[in-house]
Chains A and B, each alone.
Chain A
Amino acid sequence: MSAIATAKSGSGGGSGRRKSKLGWNLLGLLVFVVVGFPVYWMLNTAFKPAKDAIDPDPSLLPTALTFSNFGRAMDIADFWGPVARSLVVSLAVVLIGVVVGMLAALAISRFAFRGRKVVIVGILAVQMVPLVAMIIPVFLLLNDLGQYDRLTGLIITYLTFILPFTVWTLRGFIVNIPKELEEAAMVDGCSRTGAFVRVVFPLLAPGMVATSVYGFIQAWNEYLYALMLLSQKNQTATVWLGNFTTKHGTEYAPMMAGATLMAVPIVVLFLLVQRKMAAGLTAGAVKG
């Protein structure tokens, strides 16, 4: 994430006057430090002895290295269960979201139909409603449907906010693929499906990867719905992190170790597709 922030401030400088590149670079560095520090502090706390976690006089650099916090984090409560549930939910949401989202995005960007603009504005507008505002109706609805405390219920709920996002982002990618390429393929004897599979799909693939990764991160990090819609025994990884806070206080060092463990899949995923992401993010451009 920090890399993106730096890149963003960097590109802002590129379009301006080329008076002093140094100033922009320094600004980029500053942004990187501000964004990166919490992450650094999380790692730092995870590896320091538990008793030093909330030292009134903290030292900026690590002094002693220990892995005991990770051991504590792994056995405070069932660790693999919540992680497995988080993975199942996130993967299911991303898979369904990208497939359905791609079809919807194709429809709104390639075909002219009545009410297309309304659909687009609708997709954009529903993303603006805060999730908390919908928790009560969603909770009551799922309760009535017998989906409370079920992963399927959570998956359906996540899709309600991942799908608009996927549709909107993929639409940005599809719009950037010239219609002429598709038409040329059709002139050369491809069917509409053939033109899509052979021509549009390969061009769209990086965009789909970028969208999936972003969707995965959203689903993985979601807290409120996971907390409300699943009981203690079915909790997901984000809710599991709350186990470190008890009536007797918070165990910060093991909590940070747990947070580090949770960040690992995201970071690995990000590194794997990072090159495609960098191109994808600017092309999709959900953010103004």
Chain B
Amino acid sequence: MLTTLSVIWDMGVFPQVFVMRNGHPEAEFQLLTTYSYDRAFVVNDYGQGSAIALITVLLLLGVVAVYMRQMLKIGEVE
């Protein structure tokens, strides 16, 4: 369960990469999160940025479903 949560959290990693690559990560350092930011605010393509963000969320939704099932199973959501 902690593993599931960790996967979810680590998908959202942003500042570490962003700051260490000086605000504009090179192609090989891009994550989904930094890529979305890059598209939206550096190239000013808000549409593409949000699209990438949405895809990230959709991908995460699968993991969230697993996490929710685990939570429901141990009866945490009562």
Interface residues of A (CB under 8 A from B): 117, 120-121, 124-125, 128-137, 140, 223-224, 228, 242, 245, 287-288
Contact = CB atoms under 8 A, between A and B. Distances in A.
Contact of A136 (B18, B34, B53, B67): B53
Given A121-B77, A223-B15, A136 B56 contact: no
Residue from A117, A121, A130, A135 with most neighbouring chain B CB atoms (10 Å): A130
Contact of A133 (B15, B18, B36, B64): B36
Given A120-B77, A131-B14, A228 B33 contact: no
Interface residues of B, number: 34
A257 B34 CA distance: 27
B57 A124 contact: no
Contact of A140 (B11, B19, B46, B54): B46
Query: What does DSSP make chain A's interface, helix, strand, loop or mixed?
Result: helix
A136 B77 contact: no
B50 A137 contact: yes
Given A124-B68, A136-B49, A224 B14 contact: yes
Interface of B: 1-2, 4-5, 8, 11-12, 14-15, 18-19, 22-23, 33-34, 36-37, 40-41, 46, 49-50, 53-54, 56-57, 60, 63-64, 67-68, 70-71, 77
Nearest to B52: A133
Nearest to B60: A128
A172 to B, nearest CB: 9
A242 B19 contact: yes
A35 B70 CA distance: 28
A129 B64 CA distance: 9
Given A120-B77, A130-B56, A287-B5, A136 B68 contact: no
A133 B4 CA distance: 19
6 contacts: A117-B77, A130-B60, A132-B56, A133-B33, A136-B49, A287-B5
Contacts of A136: 36, 40, 46, 49-50, 53
Nearest to A223: B15
Contact of B37 (A121, A125, A135, A242): A135
Nearest to A242: B19
A132 B37 contact: yes
B50 A130 contact: no
A65 B37 CA distance: 40
Given A117-B77, A124-B71, A136-B49, A129 B37 contact: no
Contact of B56 (A133, A242, A287): A133
A132 B33 contact: yes
A150 to B, nearest CB: 19
B5 to A, nearest CB: 6
A133 B77 contact: no
Contacts of B36: 132-133, 136
B1 A288 contact: yes
